[in-house]
């Protein structure tokens, strides 16, 4: 069923576990408000011709794509505030110009997103292959900043100052948005009991889907988590305790419901089990703290390889740990454990000296003006 509504088009709808999901093409102001009011969030497919298909932000892009594959796009946005937007890029997006063209043609105000909203780009979730030289130049900007970028000037900057893998990048991840977050409600039960050497902590109901949280899980419990959606999330604690659950449920949501099990070390393990991402908060200030956690938390008990590749994301643009992130990326857990804090500090001092020398050249020659 399709019909025009004031220059917008009600595209289609479907029932997802008793919840009626509407998808709008180029929504009116009233329709956009309805989408936002449902769960304070919006998601959309943006198309280069200016078409926008939007829906309730708690419904994943992948789910809508499965229902309506013909409206899917390589530009996928989610927003939980009108002044911040996350855009997921697929492997078909290879240039800044492509992004500019989409943002020029798509009027984000129709989705109740300001042109002054900050925009972040996720190039990992859908395996975007855009050159890192370009990715680093579009992060931490407003939509208006992206539209104003001078592509010729960027090419010139890349030639004069190419990206140095040793000294960057420094990401400012605003929230744990990988992968997309679902809706869930807490089951009002405080029942806790021991299962072998693991502890069943509590449970959730996600759209009628029962989600369990385990403390220090058994192999069987870990396999159940992995088999559900192909990945796992966990809080890692310095005493060795690990609280894990289905990877579809993001850390922030669990933290809001069960703050007592929260941790500055928030792990995501993906399907091949040889790669983990750890989101760290500003409570972590040095490499030794990270090493201490990795020494006592046996990641193999979460169904991961014993020495997986590891990446770190950070929740804030401030914090002393930021200066160390350049030494932590693209390494195995064993590589992280082998790092020496004193040697890293010495190397950072040398880098800072070099930067100061480049910034403040030798004193110039001058003559007094009479």
CA distance linking residue 142 with residue 152, whole number of Å: 20
Whether residue 311 is predicted with pLDDT greater than 50 in this model: the reply is yes
- The residue among 3 and 144 whose pLDDT is bigger is 144
Whether residue 6 is predicted with pLDDT greater than 70 in this model: the reply is no
* pLDDT in the model for residue 227: 87
Average pLDDT on 198-209 reads 51
- The residue among 309 and 351 whose pLDDT is bigger is 309
* pLDDT in the model for residue 338: 93
Averaged confidence pLDDT in the chain: 78
Whether residue 288 is predicted with pLDDT greater than 90 in this model: the reply is yes
Give pLDDT tens digits for 37-75.
988 889 999 999 999 999 988 888 888 888 888 999 999
Per domain, the residue ranges of the chain are 3-163, 185-355
Nearest to 297 by CA among 236, 213, 225, 207: 236
Dihedral sign, Cα of residue 231, residue 186, residue 242, residue 216? negative
Per-residue pLDDT band at 26 (split at 50, 70, 90): very high
Per-residue pLDDT band at 325 (split at 50, 70, 90): confident
DSSP letters spanning 158-189: HHHS---GGG-------S--SS-----EE---
Cis check: omega of the bond before 45, within 30 degrees of 0: no
DSSP letters spanning 43-68: EEEE-TTS-EEEEETTS-HHHHHHH-
Whether residue 270 is predicted with pLDDT greater than 60 in this model: the reply is yes
Exposure of 44 in the CB half-sphere (CA atoms within 13 A): 30
């Amino acid at each position: 069923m399709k019909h025009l509504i004031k220059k917008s088009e009600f595209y289609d709808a479907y029932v997802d576990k008793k919840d009626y999901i509407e998808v709008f093409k180029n929504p009116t102001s009233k329709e956009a408000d309805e989408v936002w009011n449902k769960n304070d969030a919006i998601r959309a497919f943006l198309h280069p011709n200016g078409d926008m298909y939007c829906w309730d932000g708690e419904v994943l892009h992948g789910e809508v794509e499965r229902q309506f594959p013909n409206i899917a796009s390589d530009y996928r946005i989610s927003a939980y505030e009108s002044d911040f937007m996350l855009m997921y890029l697929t492997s078909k997006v290879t240039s800044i110009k492509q992004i500019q063209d989409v943002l020029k043609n798509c009027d984000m105000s129709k989705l109740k997103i300001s042109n002054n909203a900050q925009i972040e780009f996720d190039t990992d979730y859908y395996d975007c292959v855009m050159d890192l030289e370009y990715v680093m130049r579009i992060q931490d900007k407003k939509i208006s900043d992206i539209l104003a970028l001078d592509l010729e000037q960027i090419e010139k900057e890349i030639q004069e100052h190419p990206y140095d893998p040793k000294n960057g990048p420094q990401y400012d991840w605003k929230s744990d948005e990988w992968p997309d977050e679902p809706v869930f409600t807490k089951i009002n039960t405080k029942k806790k009991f021991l299962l072998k050497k693991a502890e069943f902590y509590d449970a959730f109901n996600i759209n009628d889907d029962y989600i369990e949280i385990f403390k220090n899980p058994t192999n069987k419990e870990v396999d159940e988590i992995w088999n559900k959606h192909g990945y796992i999330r966990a809080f890692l604690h310095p005493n060795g305790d690990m609280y894990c659950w289905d990877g579809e449920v993001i850390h922030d949501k669990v933290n809001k419901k069960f703050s007592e099990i929260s941790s500055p070390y928030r792990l995501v393990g993906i399907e091949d089990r040889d790669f983990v991402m750890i989101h760290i908060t500003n409570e972590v200030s040095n490499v030794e703290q990270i090493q201490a956690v990795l020494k006592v938390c046996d990641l193999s008990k979460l169904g991961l390889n014993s020495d997986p590749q590891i990446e770190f994301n950070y929740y804030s643009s401030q914090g002393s740990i930021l200066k160390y992130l350049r030494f932590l990326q693209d390494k195995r857990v064993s590589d992280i454990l082998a790092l020496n804090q004193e040697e890293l500090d010495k190397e950072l001092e040398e880098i800072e000296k070099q930067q100061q020398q480049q910034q403040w050249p030798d004193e110039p020659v001058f003559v007094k003006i009479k």
